[in-house]
């Protein structure tokens, strides 16, 4: 039981630290959020933990970002920003995809593939949400394409963040497991 608590605690610390790393200066969309979902999906022993813990960490960091760092942009305490459900829904979807992708076996190809899938999902869904939820673009197919085109400069940051943070999370935890056998997860195989 102590071993499982240690593993759970360390994985959760990884996720929380990653969520709050968003408060550090970074290029647009270079974020750990999608990688947190993949890492959680691969490492937590229960699917509800894999979905709920990374999403909760994201929400806590959003509370800090919106109400401390960027409070001048919000007239009152902000529990959720406008259109949050598009991003949060995408994070949940990435967690579900990761849960089935890894299926208790982690390989470099799966981490790379998961990062690419997460990037595409986030780009498609979040930009669709911007198009659907604002008057910035025409309410037609042409407006949707214009919105996707406007999102292209942010795609590089999303991909870079997903690849960087996935490498740090998966590689870092793998190295820790090699060094400290108490961190090895009995239900997980690194190949």
**Mean pLDDT over residues 140-162, rounded?**
97
**Confidence check: pLDDT of 124 > 60:** yes
* Separation CA 6–CA 10 (nearest Å): 6
Output the pLDDT for position 108: 96
**Confidence check: pLDDT of 5 > 70:** yes
Contacts of 95 by beta carbon, 8 Å cutoff, 6+ apart:
37, 38, 40, 41, 50, 51, 54, 55
Output the pLDDT for position 183: 83
**Mean pLDDT over residues 50-72, rounded?**
95
**Confidence check: pLDDT of 92 > 80:** yes
Q: What is the mean pLDDT of the chain?
A: 93
Output the pLDDT for position 7: 87
User: Apex CA 65: angle with CA 61 and CA 66, to 5°?
Assistant: 115
**Confidence check: pLDDT of 157 > 90:** yes
**Confidence check: pLDDT of 181 > 90:** no
**Domain total in the chain:** 1
Output the pLDDT for position 4: 61
> For residue 73, what are the domain limits?
2-190
**Mean pLDDT over residues 12-18, rounded?**
94
**Mean pLDDT over residues 120-142, rounded?**
96
Provide φ and ψ at 170, rounded to 5°: -70, -45
Which alpha helices (H) appear in the chain, and where do they start and end? 2-20, 33-43, 47-64, 84-102, 108-133, 141-166, 172-179
**Mean pLDDT over residues 139-162, rounded?**
97
**Mean pLDDT over residues 105-134, rounded?**
97
**What confidence category does residue 161 fall into, taking pLDDT thresholds of 50, 70 and 90?**
very high
**What confidence category does residue 191 fall into, taking pLDDT thresholds of 50, 70 and 90?**
confident
**Confidence check: pLDDT of 147 > 90:** yes
Q: In angstroms, what is the C-alpha Rg of the chain?
A: 17
CATH of the domain at 112: 1.10.1760
**What six digits make up the tokens of 86?**
């598009």
Output the pLDDT for position 6: 83
């Amino acid at each position: 039981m102590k071993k499982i608590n240690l593993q759970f605690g360390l994985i959760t610390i990884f996720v929380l630290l990653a969520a709050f790393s968003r408060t550090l200066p970074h290029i647009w969309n270079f974020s750990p959020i999608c990688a947190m979902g993949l890492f959680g999906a691969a490492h937590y022993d229960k699917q509800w933990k894999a979905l709920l813990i990374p999403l909760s960490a994201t929400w806590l960091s959003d509370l800090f970002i919106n109400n401390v760092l960027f409070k001048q942009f919000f007239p009152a305490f902000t529990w959720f920003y406008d259109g949050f459900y598009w991003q949060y829904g995408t994070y949940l979807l990435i967690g579900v995809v990761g849960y089935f992708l890894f299926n208790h076996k982690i390989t470099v190809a799966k981490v790379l593939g998961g990062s690419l899938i997460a990037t595409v999902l986030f780009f498609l869904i979040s930009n669709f949400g911007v198009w659907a939820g604002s008057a910035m673009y025409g309410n037609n197919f042409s407006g949707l394409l214009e919105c996707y085109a406007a999102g292209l400069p942010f795609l590089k940051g999303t991909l870079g963040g997903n690849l960087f943070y996935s490498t740090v999370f998966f590689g870092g935890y793998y190295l820790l497991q090699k060094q400290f056998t108490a961190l090895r997860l009995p239900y997980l195989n690194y190949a």
